[in-house]
Chains A and B, each alone.
Chain A
Amino acid sequence: NAGVTQTPKFRILKIGQSMTLQCAQDMNHNYMYWYRQDPGMGLKLIYYSVGAGITDKGEVPNGYNVSRSTTEDFPLRLELAAPSQTSVYFCASSPGQATYEQYFGPGTRLTVT
């Protein structure tokens, strides 16, 4: 199993550009998450999904959009990138019960200049 994969690993965007961060998991997990981690800080939940076709906002959803058309994929869309979105983005997945740990991808480092 590849686990949770994220692409790209690094990206530099200009202010106002848009992009999609890709996340895929091959563990048949129902739950998927997107977090951002600013330097020296904890993870902030952007969006999460408890199954295909179901998404919900986290703590910091503004400026982002998600979709979940399949169990495996959970892309994160950034529209009109701003410097405040410079961060490391982590995708995670988990089996269908909250008792289970989250499995994290390696992260995407995004810089908006």
Chain B
Amino acid sequence: AQTVTQSQPEMSVQEAETVTLSCTYDTSESDYYLFWYKQPPSRQMILVIRQEAYKQQNATENRFSVNFQKAAKSFSLKISDSQLGDAAMYFCAYRSNAGKSTFGDGTTLTVKP
């Protein structure tokens, strides 16, 4: 069974600074997909970024980028130029090629003005 571990229950960052959220996973599969989702207080789950395991190039979406290390089974999220609206709970998620999905326990990000 796949597992996803987020070792930082809480993180804080100063507005306009950069923060990195950690995620490691365990799997015996070679083909899979990784995602970061954001959950603000409204509870709505919002996709931040995705990464296909077969791609070596790290995904980027505006201020969000990932550091994907397949051999180390690591998938960290970097948020640059942090904004107050980035404050939320962030979840790392693994999805197998067959569609089964596993989420980490989340990291609560606080952005200080």
**Chain A residues engaging chain B, CB cutoff 8 angstroms:** 31, 33, 35, 40-45, 48, 50, 56, 58-59, 88, 90, 92, 94, 98-99, 101-102, 104, 106-107
Residues from chain B with a CB closer than 8 A to the CB of A101 are 35, 47, 50
The stretch among B65-73, B74-82, B102-110 that forms the contact with chain A is B102-110
Contact call B50/A99, Cβ cutoff below 8 A: yes
Name the residue on A nearest B49 (C-beta): A101
Binding site for A on B (CB under 8 A): 1, 4, 6, 32-33, 35, 43-45, 47, 50, 52, 91, 95-106
Known: A41-B105, A42-B105, A45-B102. 4 other contacts (CB 8 A): A59-B102, A99-B52, A106-B43, A107-B43
Bound Cα distance A98, B34 (Å): 10
Beta-carbon nearest neighbor of A88 in chain B: B43
Question: Whose C-beta in chain B lies nearest to the C-beta of A57?
Answer: B100
Instruction: State which of B33, B97, B99, B106 has its C-beta within 8 Å of the C-beta of A42.
Output: B106
Main secondary structure of the interface of A (DSSP, over half): strand
